[in-house]
Copies of this chain bind each other. A is one copy, B any other.
């Protein structure tokens, strides 16, 4: 019972990829979870659970949290500490692209950044300590130019 679109079978967007992965994991294609997935797919950086709940008017808060839990379990999204009270979540690129975050302790602003050298060093560290690294979540804290 494959709902695969065409012979290519390559999902065009992260949301499609995530929905397919959830389906393969045995989850049904419910409408509320789908809305959570699509919201995450439209974001380029971290969003908190409460922000998602605010934007998804017909969706219960519990459903948002449950969907996030399932997706994090499958490695589709990543939980990120954005400094506030609520945790941030963002999609994980299946092709391995990712960024990190600088949080301003003054105004709370979150700025994403990428750095190839940093990626390489992290990769070396993860091999050095006998750990099998699943993800790395680097958050720098500082003061931005406006503060």
Judged by a CB distance under 8 angstroms, whether A115 is at the interface is yes
Interface size for chain A: under 10, 10 to 19, 20 to 34, or 35 or more residues?
20 to 34
Give A42 Cβ to nearest chain B Cβ, in Å: 25
- Name the residue in A118, A129, A131, A138 with the highest tally of chain B Cβ atoms < 10 Å from its Cβ: A131
| Contact status A142-B132, CB under 8 Å | yes
Q: Given A102-B129, A121-B121, are A141 and B134 neighbors across the interface (CB < 8 Å)?
A: yes
Q: Which of A106-147 contact B (CB under 8 A)?
A: 111, 113, 115, 117-118, 121-122, 124-126, 128-145
Task: List residues of chain B with CB within 8 A of the CB of A104.
Answer: 131
- Which of the residues B117, B130, B145 comes within 8 Å of A130, measured between beta carbons? B145
Instruction: Determine if A117 and B121 form an interchain contact, defined as CB atoms under 8 angstroms apart.
Output: yes
Copies of this chain, count: 2
Contact of A115 among B81, B113, B121 (CB under 8 A): B121
Q: Given contacts A118-B122, A121-B118, A125-B113, are A140 and B133 in contact (CB under 8 A)? A: yes
Asked if A105 is at the interface (CB within 8 A of a chain B CB), the reply is yes
**5 cross-chain pairs, A with B, having the tightest CB-CB distances, nearest first:** A133-B142, A131-B142, A81-B81, A132-B143, A136-B140
Q: Which residues of A contact B (CB under 8 A)?
A: 81, 102, 104-105, 111, 113, 115, 117-118, 121-122, 124-126, 128-145
Given A102-B133, A126-B140, A137-B139: 5 more A-B contacts, CB < 8 Å: A102-B129, A126-B142, A131-B144, A133-B141, A135-B142
